[in-house]
């Protein structure tokens, strides 16, 4: 309680010294001596949507996919193929190309997450299971047009596999013998890592199965390392 | 016919301890210069943070609305931590919807611009253009949404 009073006092000081307004103080901080010019009205609503705006319903993957503008799949596949080829020519080392693709994916992911949140209206996920489901059902569907499935949860619920049966990035692609070890779709792992980092989750993503190497599907192992909530530069010395 | 007079329209991007401010002024009454807007934004950032601790309700994510005699301040925070706020006439309707639309414009014209560096001031013409359109010309469309 004393902290609240102190904090409320600070708010009033900050605000009234700069902006000349008159508001009404909600009396959950009792006795507070304020000048007659300063009445501050702070209304705290519970996280349920206010009556002024209808609650935003999270859209399903199919609905979002249908509502966004789409591009020709071949153009997408060919462009990605050109990027990988160019990287191989420039960097020559397969491991370097993998790293570069991951970095590119990361840069895409940090920007993509806002678009994903804006267009799909998903609310904050309760736990990592929900996060993985949302990525697989809504995220992949919205951006790649194919939904993934979530399998192989570990005991703590921090690691799972995302399985893709169909992958638009690899249409028409066959890896030659000189490119063994190339993770062709590594951009996807970067995208997921970047996107999750912007919502305060540090993850590690590895490829388990790759159809270009002869497996039957694409499998990504997503491991949650830690949650890093935003830190504010003040301490509550209660 | 409802006429909107905005005093100011502010858009702020925050990431961790970095305060980065981008703001646009569509007001007819009272302009703010850069220093004032920076002051307001840092004030708001701190207040928003403090209010999360101050709130008597659980699961509070910060201040949504500040109502005063002469203005209203609506704030929207995305799940990535970016805050958008708008200062408008008291009881102006559909501000929350406007903030949602601005968020979508931000994701389209700012984030998808490959030459925009994250956390930097927004200097994207398309974004400015579409924003003015939404604020000034699409009033009827917004009311009808």
Place of tokens 């530069």: A233
Residue A21's pLDDT is 33
Nearest Cβ partner for A231 among B16, B69, B79: B16
Distance CA B95, CA B98 (A): 5
pLDDT (mean) for B87-102: 85
Number of Cβ pairs < 8 A linking chain A and chain B? 105
Q: Is B3 left (phi over 0), alpha (psi -120 to 50) or beta?
A: beta
Residue B36's pLDDT is 79
Asked if A142 and A120 touch (Cβ cutoff 8 Å), the reply is: yes
Q: Which residues of B touch A52 (CB under 8 A)?
A: 93-94, 96
> Sign (positive/negative) of CA torsion A147, A80, A69, B101?
positive
Distances (CA, A) of A140 to A24, A148, B80: 48, 7, 19
Q: Is A148 left (phi over 0), alpha (psi -120 to 50) or beta?
A: beta
Residue A50's pLDDT is 42
ipTM for the predicted complex comes to 0.77
Residues 109 to 138 of B: which have CB under 8 A from any A CB?
A: 111-112, 118
- Residues of chain A scoring pLDDT < 70: 1-56, 230-238
Q: What is the pLDDT of residues B24-72, one digit of tens each?
A: 666 555 566 778 777 888 888 888 888 887 777 777 788 888 888 888 8
Asked if A183 and A176 touch (Cβ cutoff 8 Å), the reply is: no
* Closest CA–CA distance from residue B24 to any residue of chain A (Å): 19
Those residues with Cβ within 8 angstroms of residue A203's Cβ, 6 or more apart along the chain or in another chain: A192, A193, A196, A197, A222, A223, A224, A225
Q: What is the pLDDT of residues B99-145, one digit of tens each?
A: 899 999 999 999 999 998 887 878 889 998 898 888 876 555 555 54
Do A110 and B60 count as a contact with CB atoms less than 8 A apart?
Answer: no
User: Which of the pair, B10 or A78, is modelled with greater confidence?
Assistant: A78
Q: Which residues of B touch A15 (CB under 8 A)?
A: 43, 47
Q: Give me the numbers of helices (H) and strands (E) for chain A, helices first please.
A: 7, 4
Asked if A221 and A206 touch (Cβ cutoff 8 Å), the reply is: yes
Q: How confident is the model at residue B11 (pLDDT cuts 50, 70, 90)?
A: very low
Residue A1's pLDDT is 43
Distance CA A160, CA A223 (A): 7
Give which of B68, B69, B104, B124 to mutate to test A binding, by max A Cβ within 10 Å.
Answer: B68
Q: Which residues of A touch B55 (CB under 8 A)?
A: 44
What mean pLDDT, rounded, does chain B reach? Answer: 74
Residue B42's pLDDT is 82
Coil, helix or strand at residue B73:
strand
Give CA torsion, residues A99, A104, A107, A112, to 10 deg: -120
Residue A141's pLDDT is 92
What are the E-state strand segments in chain B?
8-15, 18-24, 65-67, 72-77, 83-88
pTM metric for this prediction: 0.77
Do A7 and B54 count as a contact with CB atoms less than 8 A apart?
Answer: yes
Q: How confident is the model at residue B23 (pLDDT cuts 50, 70, 90)?
A: low
Q: What is the pLDDT of residues A141-150, one digit of tens each?
A: 999 989 999 9
Residue A27's pLDDT is 31
H, E, C per residue of A94-124: HHHHHHHHHHHHHHHHHHHHHHHHHHHCCCC
DSSP A148-214: -EEE---TTS-EEEEEES--GGGTT----GGGTT--TTHHHHHHHHHHHHHTTEEEEEEEEE-GGGT
Residue B86's pLDDT is 85
Gyration radius of chain B's alpha carbons: 15
Asked if B41 and B24 touch (Cβ cutoff 8 Å), the reply is: no
Nearest Cβ partner for B80 among A7, A56, A114: A114
Nearest Cβ partner for B107 among A19, A41, A114: A114
> Sign (positive/negative) of CA torsion B34, B37, B41, B47?
positive
């Amino acid at each position: 309680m004393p902290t609240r009073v102190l904090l409320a006092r600070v708010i009033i000081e900050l605000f009234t010294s700069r902006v000349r307004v008159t508001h009404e103080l909600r009396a959950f901080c009792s006795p507070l001596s304020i000048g007659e010019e300063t009445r501050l009205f702070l209304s705290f609503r519970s996280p349920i949507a206010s009556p002024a705006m209808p609650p935003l319903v999270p859209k399903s993957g199919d609905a979002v996919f249908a509502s966004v503008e789409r591009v020709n799949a071949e153009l997408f596949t060919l462009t990605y193929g050109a990027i990988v080829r160019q990287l191989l020519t420039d960097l020559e080392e397969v491991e370097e190309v993998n790293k570069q693709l991951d970095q590119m994916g990361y840069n895409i992911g940090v920007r993509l997450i806002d678009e994903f949140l804006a267009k799909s209206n998903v609310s904050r996920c309760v736990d990592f299971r929900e996060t993985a489901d949302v990525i697989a059902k809504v995220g992949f569907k919205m951006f790649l047009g194919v939904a993934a499935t979530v399998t192989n949860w570990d005991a703590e619920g921090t690691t799972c596999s995302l399985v893709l049966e169909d992958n638009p990035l690899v249409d028409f692609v066959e890896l030659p013998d000189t490119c063994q070890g190339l993770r062709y779709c590594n951009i996807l792992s970067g995208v997921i890592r970047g996107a999750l980092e912007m919502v305060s989750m540090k993850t590690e993503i590895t490829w388990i199965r790759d159809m270009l190497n002869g497996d039957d599907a694409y499998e990504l192992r997503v491991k949650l390392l830690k949650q890093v909530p935003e830190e504010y530069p003040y301490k509550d010395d209660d | 016919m409802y006429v909107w007079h905005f005093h100011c329209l502010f858009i702020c991007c925050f990431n961790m301890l970095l305060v980065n401010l981008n703001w646009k002024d569509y007001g007819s009454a009272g302009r703010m210069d850069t220093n004032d807007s920076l002051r307001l934004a840092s004030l708001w950032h701190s207040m928003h943070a403090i209010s999360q601790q101050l709130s008597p309700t659980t699961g509070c994510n910060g201040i949504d609305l500040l109502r005063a005699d002469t203005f209203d301040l609506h704030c929207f925070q995305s799940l990535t931590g970016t805050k958008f706020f708008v200062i408008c006439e008291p009881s102006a309707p559909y501000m929350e919807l406007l903030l949602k639309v601005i968020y979508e414009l931000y994701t389209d014209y700012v984030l998808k611009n490959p030459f925009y560096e994250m956390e930097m001031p927004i200097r994207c013409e398309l974004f400015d253009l579409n924003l003015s359109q939404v604020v000034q010309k699409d009033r009827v469309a917004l009311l009808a949404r």
